Amino acid sequence: MTPAQDPFYIVKDEIQDSIDKVQDTFHQWKQTPENTGEYVHLTKELVTSCESVQWQVDELEKAISVAERDPAYYGLNEVEIGKRRNWTSSARNQVVSIRRNVEAGKHKTAFGRSVNPSEQSRSKQHITQDNDDFIASESDQQMLLMKRQDDELDALSASVQRIGGVGLTIHEELIGQEKLLGELSLDMETTSNRLDFVQKRVAMVLKKASLKGQIMMIAFLVVLFVVLFVLVFLT
């Protein structure tokens, strides 16, 4: 089975796309000023996305564990199993590292707001303005986040359906091959029975016929054998 048909590589590519998106969002998060509505929104989005990717990696590792029990059945070997384990481990480490940085940033921001003297000295007017801006954008940001989550779930569902389709195709191909083998076995058995019958008739006739008759009979049977061979194997 080629990588393009292997369900592992199909799911792997989709997870890698999700990781790339998380990394892009993480870079944007690092460049966003703290204590802003956008910073809070990106933080929530990163935490949610990391949880989603970790869940996908967990499911992929479960599939690898199943294949590891009988690699030959799935057309795999220990080297390939090891490569797949290494990739899922690397993917998990990337996501865990991003999530730890984001959560550390959340705690740092919260602590900074509680002890920073300049934060406490801000005027009530500025605080009110910041709150108003945040409330105004929060609804839109939540809707955008929900839409992204829906898109990710749709993509995951489509991936599962494709994996199911690949498995069904393989099952149908195996059934077709089994049917062909059965038909070939039946044809071979029929041909063997016909040859046995011809041999017995030849032996019987040779016993009864004279030398001249035997020669004529042999010639006739040779012609008959050629005709039967053509009918059996060339039609």
pLDDT in tens, 103-126: 887 766 554 444 444 544 554 455
Backbone φ and ψ of 74, nearest 5°: -95, 10
pTM of the full predicted structure?
Answer: 0.47
CB 7 within 8 A of CB 167: yes
pLDDT in tens, 150-196: 888 888 878 777 787 777 778 788 887 888 888 888 878 887 787 78
- Please name each of the domains of the chain with its CATH number: 3-109+150-183 (1.20.58.90)
Distance CA 136, CA 138 (A): 6
Distance CA 183, CA 201 (A): 27
Write the single-letter amino acid at 163: I
Write out the two tokens for 159.
């991936």
The answer to whether residue 134 scores a pLDDT higher than 70 is no
Q: What DSSP state is assigned to residue 34?
A: S
pLDDT in tens, 181-234: 888 888 788 877 877 887 777 667 656 655 666 777 788 888 888 888 777 776
